[in-house]
Chain A
Amino acid sequence: MDTISFNKFRYSEFSSLHPLVIAAFFLVGCSVVMVCSSPVVLLTAFFSGLLYLTYLKGISSFFPQALSGVCIIFVMAVINGFFTHDGNTVLFYLNANRITLEGFLFGANAGAMLSSVVYLMQILSAMLTSDKIIYLFGRVVPSVGLLISMVFRSIPLLRDRFFQIHSAQRGIGKTTHGFFSNIRLRTKEFSILTAWSLESSIETSDSMAARGYGLKGRTSFHLFRFSSRDKYLLAFFLVVGILFAAGIACGFTTVYFYPDFRMIAPFHMQLLFAAGFGAFLLTPFIIDLIGDRKWKKFDLMG
């Protein structure tokens, strides 16, 4: 499908699912990560996110991605360690301030949460092309869906117009020498762009009015098909989401760092939760791998 996508990613079977299914996945995934404080669960999220992102972007992206995640964890650990003085295990004193092990651990844990969310968001941006964004917003507020669609329309239009204006100004010998004349010319070009675009938006609104925009009961059209595969996956994500919520409510993922590192549920329950969550986060990866296998079998050229 020819849509605005923000990065170069490989084909993903998961992204061909219905947008609601994709949205449900990220909603569950991000919510769990953001309310968990268990290092085991967060590290699981960190590694599954990194694994799937590497699969999507290619092996060469592994090192920079992993490095950026580790940097986030490290920076968060250092910042928290030096600014929070709670915790009982004192490592050393700095200007009469206690620098504690718990402080560093809490920071690192928060860093793992942050970098997991960053990975998930990067995957999300690969999955949600412009048409899916428009569809999802259109489900909630139809006029916002249309608005986003018009924005996606006007970005390339304005860019092309600006190039035309720039080229026209050069064509009549308007060139710049130095910083200030450059700014003056750019301002002028920008003002032409504004006037031109406002003028042409009158014609756009005419064309909208001519096709009955403003009538009551506008619907929002889309090309997505909700197949049985989407139905099962959506149900699966919702059930799993409820299970995760129950687990979180029971405190399986709650961990206290201050004054001492302390878990409220038994460790094996935390491991169980992490295993389940890891499996959930890798569902897209598994779906993609199955998709790849099918394509290999289907190879028409033998």
Chain B
Amino acid sequence: MSDITNQSLNQIIKRIKTKEISSTDLTKAYIKNIEGAKKLNAFVTTTFDYALDKAKQFDNKPNFDQLLPGIPLAVKDLFCTENFKTTAGSNILNNFVPSYESTVTKNLWDNGSFLLGKLNCDEFAMGSSNETSYFGNVINPVGDQLVPGGSSGGSSSALAADLTPATIGTDTGGSIRQPASFTGTVGLKPTYGLCSRWGIVAFASSLDQAGPMTKDITDCAIMLEAMSGFDEKDSTSINKKKENYSKNLKDNIKGLKIGIPKEYRVDNMPKEIDELWEKGKKILKDLGVELIDISLPHTKYALPTYYIVAPAEASSNLARYDGVRYGFRSEKGKDLIEMYENTRSEGFGDEVKRRILIGTYVLSSGYYDAYYLKAQKVRQLIKRDFDDNFTKVDAILTPSTPSSAFKIGEKTNDPVSMYLNDIFTVPTNLAGLPALSLPAGLDKQGLPLGLQLIGKPLDEQKILNIGYAFEKNCEFKNEIKKWWS
């Protein structure tokens, strides 16, 4: 046990509980790693003094019954944290210090953990490579010059580089699962409504969902258990009993039916992705799962639908950033309107502005029916595709992404090719379903690839169980050389 930080969260918790390591020493180990990993640019803010203080408090009066006893955690900088700057990766919130704590982070702290720092992300979570952040791009620890995925790129990078034992991200169209896939880690987007959106900087309210990013499935179950739960402050929060995902984790998945949708075999998909999918199917089959070919006929329309719905909601959600009550205000301009226009032009980056304009346009007079209403209708069809098939299968297996991590700058000049990264992840956001990305193999260049398990609404336990069994039989090992330190 030379380095505690390369272990999984559940192993660390064990060592905390057996007093093999103190919370303070654990925290110090992560601080050392973070200080040596500035090159990755995963952090926007670090809260070391606060974390050491909380660790000391824990060590003085430890409570080992908690889910996350004495665990330091860094979180995506989209979660509002009381008294700690929250930027959403944007210049417009560069100096914003919330006086409140998001429900999801509060849940984590209430379970014994504390804040270690705020992780870089695409500006307002709009991006698939973490290149749209005002605070610069994040580097993927699996290889210099590679993107860590997005928008939770700081989260995936920090997790894979052992800068936090586990983390949380948000997923609007794939922002947890795609970066997890790119870094060989586990990422779960829960059912829409399982985790409260209160206190999370909103991107697209009908799609946004917070979820765990972890080194393995057990960690994922622990984190989900800690962060989820009904919140009366969020009108879209589902009122249901809390589940013990970690305690109920089972690796016997014999007899389950898993659907294989033919529409996820897209044109120009690298052969390696197809091979990975085949490998996944074989593992599951060997575990006694029945594979069933299914059809989700509207899959190809998910991404175009997403690029209407998400920008439309974003254009409205981001209207509050006007330089009046918080955040950046431009000093240019002679009256209120000019102040607005300059503040928003200087405060937002190009991708955010592009999406605000798309969203404004699709909602504007004369275009609403052709775009927004059309998209709401297609969204219904996409949801129906899943509803129809979930009468026949327990879960669906697909690749997580159409490629492995790409090079920094490779797709920045072609927005549509960037958007295509989310082709496999977006449908589940539109349908509000839980989906898990798990590391399943490496491509020719040795870069990690992930498979995605999609479940029925609120069926997180089942996809975690499938993932758990899969993980035990997959023989995937994420070998990351610490080239940056």
Query: A and B, one complex?
Result: no
